[in-house]
Amino acid sequence: MNDEKRTNDYYAYLLGLIDVDYVYERGYILLMRKLFHTQFYWVVSNDENRAADGLALRAHYADWCGEKLYFLDGKCTVLEMMVALARRMETDILFNYGDEDNTPTWFWMMIENLGLKKFTDDCFDDDEIDYILENWMSRNRVNGQKLSLFFLPDNLPDNVFIPDNLEIWYQMQDFVINHFDF
């Protein structure tokens, strides 16, 4: 099997974790490819752990199918990071809250929170997506707004917010604490 076929199989595996049918039925093929080919980087300490989670998906895939992904370079992609975070949110934090795997729910919530859900294949804008991803990973504000994978409900007191410099893991925990009654 050649490297391109292995890469495509791994990519299909990632899409399967976030509901591949939704991707194809709603027309998010170009966006998913973009996220798969965009390197994830961080400027806040400990966000490198999210990249490590994304890279761990490669090992999970290798265990699942018996294929080593030696042909992929060592850099985590945005898609890998977001899929891994959605999986960890579901399995390690929410402990499969509810009766089904909500990994796709958390992934698509993050896509929506970043403002990427509008970029279907019919409305794809490569430059605007680059702009959003660059500003999100760099923790820059856009028009006075921060870009985030997680937002807190509007009905919280004014003193409850997620700081811009808080690592992604703690942003996710703040979101979970303020959205779920345990």
pLDDT tens digits in sequence order for the chain, 182 residues long:
677 888 888 999 999 999 989 889 999 999 999 999 999 999 999 999 999 999 999 888 888 787 666 666 679 999 999 999 999 999 887 776 667 888 999 999 999 999 999 999 999 999 999 999 999 999 988 877 778 898 765 555 544 556 668 899 998 988 888 877 65
Contact 42, 51 (CB under 8 A): yes
CA dist 154 and 169 (Å) reads 21
CA dist 167 and 154 (Å) reads 21
Q: Measured between alpha carbons, how far is residue 129 from residues 21, 40, 123 in Å?
A: 22, 14, 11
- Taking residue 28's Cβ as centre, other Cβ atoms within 10 Å add up to 23
CA dist 153 and 139 (Å) reads 20
Domain spans, the chain: 3-179
Please tell me the pTM assigned to this model. Answer: 0.89
- Taking residue 4's Cβ as centre, other Cβ atoms within 10 Å add up to 9
CA dist 36 and 85 (Å) reads 15
- Name the β-bridge partners of 21: none
